[in-house]
Amino acid sequence: MTESHLPIFPLGTVLFPNGLLPLHIFEERYRRMLSDTRHNDPAFVVALSPGGEQGGIELAPSRVGTACHVSGISPRPDGRSDIVVSGTFRVHIGGIDWSNGYAIGEVEPLADIIDDGDQVALSYAALQARFTGYLALIERLIGEALPRLETTNNPSRGSWVIGETLTLHAGERQALLEARAIDDRLAVLDRYLRREHAVLKHTGMIGNAIDFPGRKLSLN
């Protein structure tokens, strides 16, 4: 299987490039997919899916997903597996073929585009400062230090780190993933971060537990 055709793993969550996602693999078709692809790099694409069927046909996943690498695997005696995947790069998903029992899609890597380099640098510096203030407020409220996140001057990688940490629902994470250019992604992130900071400041509460990489286990 070439990089232009990869298995598609439809899930109710969104994986970002450079992010980590633990998964419990129990369905027979995805156990077979894992066996077929675990040694490939990338192994498959994680794509947000509405789940369910319509007219007897499984609903299609989102057209933008993240190719991933299987970073760790713990097989169970009954054939199930607990795995951890790491996101590598975004892809656009074209036609999907289900004849193999699981979805295989035509995929095209999506490059990170910068429309205005100077503006991106300014926007990212402002976002980093706002994010530092957000984390400091959380530390004051909970009375303890948070784990130190990787710092980077790379707006592309840094935007994924910030997005991974904020408490966002799947649709908002998908909007970040689909942003055409880094300029757009930073603008979306700034809006989310301002909202989360305002909620935290006025209520003293975080919507859910902070969503650091390696968060909840997802089931297939």
pLDDT tens digits, one per residue of 86-105: 999 999 999 899 888 899 99
* Mean predicted confidence (pLDDT) in 115-140: 94
Do residues 127 and 162 lie in contact, with contact meaning Cβ atoms separated by under 8 Å? Answer: yes
Q: Which residue type is seen at 164?
A: E
Map tokens 């439809």 to a residue.
10
At residue 210 the predicted structure's pLDDT band, cuts being 50, 70 and 90, is: very low
Q: How far apart are CA 174 and CA 171, in angstroms?
A: 5
Q: How confident is the model at residue 220 (pLDDT cuts 50, 70, 90)?
A: low
**Is the pLDDT confidence value at 59 over 80?**
no
Query: What predicted TM-score, i.e. pTM, was given to this entire model?
Result: 0.85
- What is the predicted pLDDT for the residue at 57? 54
Tokens 């990170």 locate to 112
Distance CA 87, CA 66 (A): 6
- Indicate the SS3 state at residue 175: helix
The mean per-residue pLDDT over the stretch 149-156 comes to 84
Backbone angles phi, psi at 65, to 5 degrees: -135, -170
Query: Which pair of structure tokens corresponds to residue 18?
Result: 């450079």
